[in-house]
Amino acid sequence: MKRYELLDHTADIGIRAFGRDLQEAFGNAAYAMFDIITYNEEIKEKQSFDIQITADHIEDLLITWLDELLFKYETERFLFKEFKIKDLSDTNLNATIFGEKVDLKKHEIKVEIKNVTYHQLKVEKTADGWELQVIFDL
């Protein structure tokens, strides 16, 4: 199963992330976001952080998850590559994320994502597992 695919979207960029379960799909959505920002293969798993998030429903939880990771990138200049979702329900997420600080000698910043949007947002169970769709404002 592929992790994600890019979606064409006027002036923005979208992803469709896949997973056998919801945890894997949430992790793959985060992986895709950082793969848009830089080349994931250049990110090392030097530091880890625990993240706990709550939201009113699963769609809000996905947006809040990606927003939290994007905020950490924007404010502390961390890039992330590995996402271990330990607990996930419709309203709660508990994860450990792994990555490192941006080093412009080895990390090429391809695109700066400004925002995670609700536009065309989908969290959907399929015959193969889960599919998430998110559009990022560039």
65 in Cβ contact with 26 (< 8 Å)? yes
> Average pLDDT for consecutive 10-residue bins of the chain (138 residues)?
89 95 98 97 97 98 98 97 97 98 96 95 97 96
With the CA atoms of 11, 132, 17 and 112 taken in that order, what torsion angle do they form, in degrees rounded to the nearest 10? Answer: 30
Q: What is the per-residue pLDDT for 11? A: 79
Domain 4-137 has what CATH class?
A: alpha beta
Q: Where are the domains of the chain?
A: 4-137
Residues sharing a CB contact under 8 Å with residue 83, sequence separation 6 or more, in sequence order: 26, 27, 30, 31, 95, 97, 98
